[in-house]
Chain A
């Protein structure tokens, strides 16, 4: 006779295994030179999301009958060396299961939309494969019961996001945007990686139930305040990159170079809120870390203000939506910083649904707009920012100037850090070439070919 725990374990494993299996089912034949047809690809990937969604809803039902008492699902030890053990531990609770239902449902919808939208696109299989990788990473991150599993999901999210931004490889802008997003993710991943190591050192494993109580949203912190503060600060740093908070926000508007369905699910819905999810998962740590919370409020409000101002002068729809996403994401960060739990969760879900709908609708909305202008015989006029009318003309002009330059923050980051760093590396590479030329007794080691 199966116990409730066995049923939940089975369902949670299904939520994770279903999209993961689709990666193998589409990826392996494609790698062996026999990619499935468009129809089969969409069906396989869609089927995986559907199975994950159904398993999620069933888990939710089982949990609801038991008052949402969290269930820890231990899938075994991945590997262990001495005191360092990486276990595959998942958690089904009031945060993870509804979020999985929401994310797999949304992935399934985008899958259905993209099947028509990308019909006969040369990268059709690649798109769906990356969508499946994203779905797997998302479920892994959401269901993670340990920081190791969370980090694995987080990395899959970053990689699939980068590859989808650069989906149209023939476009120079797409390649540059992908590189920029990846560099930002990679830099901010330092936070999560270091936090993971700190957690292992503090409690001897990466399991969340040794860090804080299992009962979300009322978990209690089980580590000293200093550890909680350090881990929280690192998590905030990691979340800033993935959720495009100032000053790591420059990649988001450029990320819209990817196909519309992926923009919708990544930068309107799920990926942009991955940072917020991690912070919500570790809310008990934040409770013990007022410094990190203050930082969250400052960063969140700063990002919201910045994105709101800059978004108003954007001349293309997807950039405007990107800044709108950034504004809401900033507000969600501030809400988490204020110590709220349910409000940011509701905010995340409602914003994700609205924004992904807007992005999916954007190509046809442009078409409608052109028809409207043709019918009116001219521009229908733009609404002015109500608050802007109350500002002095000079201040309005100044804001306009700042907004046109996207708040100067990217310029500052570039001039202070990126350009000097690259300059130093170029100098070092040049010195290396000279040194080799000297050693080699000619113009340096030549280009030899097979």
Chain B
């Protein structure tokens, strides 16, 4: 990598994080008090463009990670590799869509700084592999979510559930990471301390990702918080990123964290299937989205904990495809709710003729989330099913079962929201241009990556190959620190 491209990467990374951070501070001090949306969207656009610049710059390199800052516990202050390059624009797109579609009432003066601060913390987290910084940024991403849920009318119970889960996750993460730094399990003379650290980090990841039996906060957040809060807290999947940075790469280590990964993988498979099954009997739309998000998030972790590049590749594709699709569904349902109130699923609600454009978007996002040919989820399902079946028969079958059940739940959701007798007296609702713009962009990305997945899949292949190939090729694991293992040096 040349010096100039190193500098450009660093500048782009700084802009990605700084833009929402400055935006957050500015709106907190009253800048654009009357119309914060335009300003917030502009800030999100700057972050999106900067993150796309990172992707482009990284794609011109030889694939070696760009690192900056002191090494501690195997991590660096700034770490940009293939995974960062792919995931950063995804997170930026999700944040921008949320700001574009959010109903006017949701973008009050106090909520915009929170959303932008949360976005800045998430971007920063995706740009680092430094264990201590990861802990700080975990806190920084959790805090605005908790404040937002707590300040939401009727959200006290959800805030309490969220607080219990996140406190446990943060404690496990902090203690586990410190133990990992003190006694790295990949070091030659590793003892029980490092092993305990690995287990604690794994538990933290499980809690933060809503893996069974720590899953309850996931649907609770969707039911009790505003949709922007729920989506911004769950769609980036910071715990998956942490798992990639701290756990994956040691899969074949006899004394490392392999056992944690095995347990994570099995529980994630159970959660993916359980969540998809549970989604079939949900009685309201928010719970449906919550349980489906829980299932898809677990599916990502199940793939990440695999040992085959194809499985990891599939997991990253599921990460992006399900994230974009669920963001789209969440935003459509938010738009519907803002017009006509909460949506039950006990009986068909007959909303089709009220909002046909939103129905079309809901359907397309729903189908994009369950493997519609031509969308990224079709590719993602193909990769993750093939990878899982290649590794373990039962894993593959559980992934297939989860896919089948989530499909049934999604279509039930669509038919129950939009099907049913029409209220001829009811108001007809159109779709706002900004809503159409955001939803069309999300959909276009899903279809574009589905019809032409090769560049994405190749980029991920390079990144996952580096992630796994290194550990496979390292006969003497004790000679490497975490960063060497992860970054192929």
Contact A175 B160 (CB under 8 A): no
**Residue pair A32, B457 in contact (C-beta under 8 Å):** no
B418 at interface (Cβ–Cβ under 8 A)? yes
How distant is the Cα of A437 from the Cα of B371 in the complex, in angstroms? 34
The size class of the interface chain A forms with chain B is 35 or more
* B220 touching A84, Cβ below 8 Å: no
B191 at the interface (CB under 8 A from A): no
Contacting residues of chain A (132-184) with chain B, CB-CB under 8 angstroms: 137, 140, 148, 151-153, 155-156, 159, 162-163, 166, 169-170, 172, 174-175, 178-179, 182-183
Say whether B152 contacts A155, CB under 8 Å: no
* Contacting residue for B360 out of A30, A122, A190, A443, CB 8 A: A30
Interchain nearest-CB distance for B223 vs A (Å): 5
Among the listed A81, A429, A439, A447, which residue makes an inter-chain contact with B282, where contact means beta carbons less than 8 Å apart?
A429
Expressed in whole angstroms, the Cα–Cα distance for A441 and B164 within the complex equals: 12
Whole-angstrom distance between the Cβ of A85 and the nearest chain B Cβ? 11
Which residues does chain A contribute within 8 Å of B454, judged by CB atoms? 77-80
Interface centre among B219, B360, B386 (most CB of A within 10 A): B386
- Asked whether A6 is an interface residue with its Cβ less than 8 Å from the other chain, the reply is no
Contact (Cβ within 8 A) A425 B278 = yes
**Contact A178–B408 (Cβ < 8 Å):** no
Binds B, one of A56-64, A192-200, A225-233, A319-327: A192-200
Q: Is the interface of A mostly helix, strand, loop or mixed?
A: helix
Is A82 on the interface with B (CB-CB < 8 A)? yes
B436 near A33 with CB under 8 A, answer yes
Residues of chain A within 8 A (CB-CB) of B42 are none
- Which of A33, A151, A201, A428: most chain B CB closer than 10 A? A33
Contact code string B278-321 (vs A, CB < 8 Å = 1, else 0) = 10111010100000000000000000000011100100000000
Contact A169 B277 (CB under 8 A): no
Q: Judging by beta carbons under 8 Å apart, are A448 and B436 in contact? A: no
Say whether B334 contacts A450, CB under 8 Å: yes
8 Å CB contact of B411 from A162, A169, A449: A162
Stretch at the interface among B182-190, B255-263, B336-344: B336-344
**Inter-subunit contact B154/A197 (CB<8 Å):** no
- Give chain B residues whose Cβ lies under 8 Å from the Cβ of A194: 389, 396-397, 400
**Does B63 count as interface, using CB distance less than 8 angstroms?**
no
CA distance A153 to B199 in the complex (A): 44
Contacting residues of chain A (99-139) with chain B, CB-CB under 8 angstroms: 122, 137
With beta carbons under 8 angstroms apart, the residue of A156, A163, A200, A450 that contacts B226 is: A450
In the assembled complex, B453 has its CB within 8 A of some CB on chain A = yes
Shortest CB-to-CB span from A61 to chain B, Å, is: 30
Residues on A with C-beta less than 8 A from B60 are none
Residues of B within 8 A of A137 (CB): 373
Question: In the complex, A198→B153 CA distance in Å?
Answer: 52
Would you give the 0/1 interface string for B92-129, flagging 1 where the beta carbon is closer than 8 Å to chain A? 00000000001101100000000000000000000000
Judging by beta carbons under 8 Å apart, are B216 and A436 in contact?
yes
- Which residue of B154, B164, B284, B310 is within 8 Å of A82 (Cβ)? B310
Q: Given contacts A174-B419, A445-B221, could you give 11 more A-B pairs where the C-beta distance is less than 8 Å?
A: A140-B373, A155-B372, A193-B385, A196-B382, A426-B281, A440-B158, A442-B156, A445-B161, A447-B286, A448-B153, A450-B226
| Contact across chains for B278 and A429 when beta carbons are under 8 A apart | yes
Chain B interface residue count, Cβ-Cβ cutoff 8 angstroms = 87
Q: Is B369 an interface residue (CB 8 A)?
A: no
Interface of B: prevailing SS:
helix
Cα–Cα, bound, A425→B420 (Å)? 24
**A422 contacts the other chain (CB 8 A):** yes
**Is there contact, CB below 8 Å, between A450 and B400?**
no
Listed in ascending order, the chain A residues whose CB lies under 8 Å from chain B are: 30-33, 77-82, 84, 86, 122, 137, 140, 148, 151-153, 155-156, 159, 162-163, 166, 169-170, 172, 174-175, 178-179, 182-183, 186-187, 189-190, 193-194, 196-197, 200-201, 422, 425-426, 428-429, 432, 435-437, 439-450
Q: Are A439 and B164 in contact (CB under 8 A)?
A: yes
Nearest CB in chain B to that of A187: its residue: B404
Q: List chain A residues, Cβ under 8 A from B221.
A: 445
Cβ of B407 under 8 Å from chain A: yes
Are A439 and B224 in touch, CB under 8 angstroms? no
Q: B86: CB under 8 A from chain A?
A: no
In the bound complex, what is the Cα–Cα distance between A88 and B142 (angstroms)?
44
Q: Are A156 and B158 in contact (CB under 8 A)?
A: no
Residues of A within 8 A of B310 (CB): 81-82, 84
Q: With A and B bound together, what is the CA distance between A174 and B226 in angstroms? A: 33
CA distance A60 to B9 in the complex (A): 56
Within the complex, the shortest CB–CB distance from B177 to chain A, in Å, comes to: 26
Contacts of A31 in B (CB 8 A): 357, 360-361, 364, 440, 443
Contact of A448 among B152, B274, B353 (CB under 8 A): B152
Residues on the A chain within 8 Å of B278, using CB? 425, 428-429, 432
- What are 29 A-B contacts defined by CB distance under 8 Å? A77-B454, A79-B454, A79-B457, A80-B457, A82-B310, A151-B373, A155-B373, A163-B363, A166-B419, A172-B348, A175-B415, A186-B407, A193-B385, A197-B386, A426-B281, A429-B278, A440-B158, A440-B220, A442-B156, A444-B157, A444-B220, A445-B158, A445-B220, A446-B154, A447-B224, A448-B158, A448-B223, A449-B341, A450-B338
With a cutoff of 8 Å between Cβ atoms, the chain B residues found around residue A163 in the complex are 363
Contact between chains at B161 and A436 (CB < 8 Å) = yes
Contacts of A440 in B (CB 8 A): 156-158, 160-161, 220
**Interface pair A441/B400, CB less than 8 Å apart:** no
A443 with B378: CB separation less than 8 A? no
Asked if B352 contacts A156 (CB within 8 A), the reply is: no
A428→B341 CA distance, assembly (Å): 27
Distance between Cα atoms of A172 and B350 in the complex (Å) = 10
- Nearest chain A residue, comparing its CB with the CB of B338: A450
Q: Which residues of the partner chain B approach A435 to less than 8 Å between Cβ atoms?
A: 216
Within 8 A of A (CB), among B373-388: 373-374, 378-379, 382-383, 385-386
When C-beta atoms are compared, the residue in chain B nearest to A156 turns out to be: B373
A425 contacts B216, C-beta separation under 8 Å = no
Most A CB contacts (10 A, CB to CB) among B220, B282, B383 go to B220
* Distance of B414 from chain A, by nearest CB (Å): 9
List residues of chain B with CB within 8 A of the CB of A179. Answer: 411-412, 415
Contacts of B233 on A, CB cut-off 8 Å? none
**Residue pair B382, A86 in contact (C-beta under 8 Å):** yes
Does chain A have a CB within 8 A of B484?
Answer: no
How near does chain A come to B268, taking the closest CB pair, in angstroms?
A: 18
By the criterion CB–CB under 8 Å, are B436 and A81 in contact?
A: no
Closest-CB distance, B312 to chain A (whole angstroms): 10
Tell whether B81 is near chain A: CB-to-CB under 8 Å. no
A442 proximity list for chain B (CB < 8 A): 156-157
Contact partners of A422 in chain B: CB under 8 A: 280-281
How far is A447 from B224 in the complex, measured between Cα atoms in Å?
A: 6
Tell whether, in the assembled complex, residue A172 and residue B281 are in contact, meaning their CB atoms are under 8 Å apart.
no
Q: Which residues of the other chain, B, contact A447 by a CB distance below 8 angstroms?
A: 154, 223-224, 284, 286, 342
Which residues of the other chain, A, contact B280 by a CB distance below 8 angstroms?
Answer: 422, 425
Q: Which residues of A contact B106 (CB under 8 A)?
A: 450
Q: Would you give the shortest CB distance from B391 to chain A, in whole angstroms?
A: 11
Residues of chain B in range 414-453 having any CB-CB distance to chain A below 8 Å: 415-416, 418-422, 431, 436, 440, 443, 453
Counting CB contacts under 8 A, is B89 at the interface?
no
Contacts of B156 in A (CB 8 A): 440, 442, 446
Chain A residues within 8 Å of B436, by CB: 32-33
- Contact of A425 with B457 at beta-carbon distance under 8 Å, contacts A156-B373, A439-B164, A440-B160 already known: no
Q: Which of B155, B226, B411 contacts A445 (CB 8 A)?
A: B155
Contact check: which of A81, A86, A186, A426 meets B309 at CB < 8 Å?
A81
Q: Of all chain B residues, which has the CB nearest A194?
A: B400
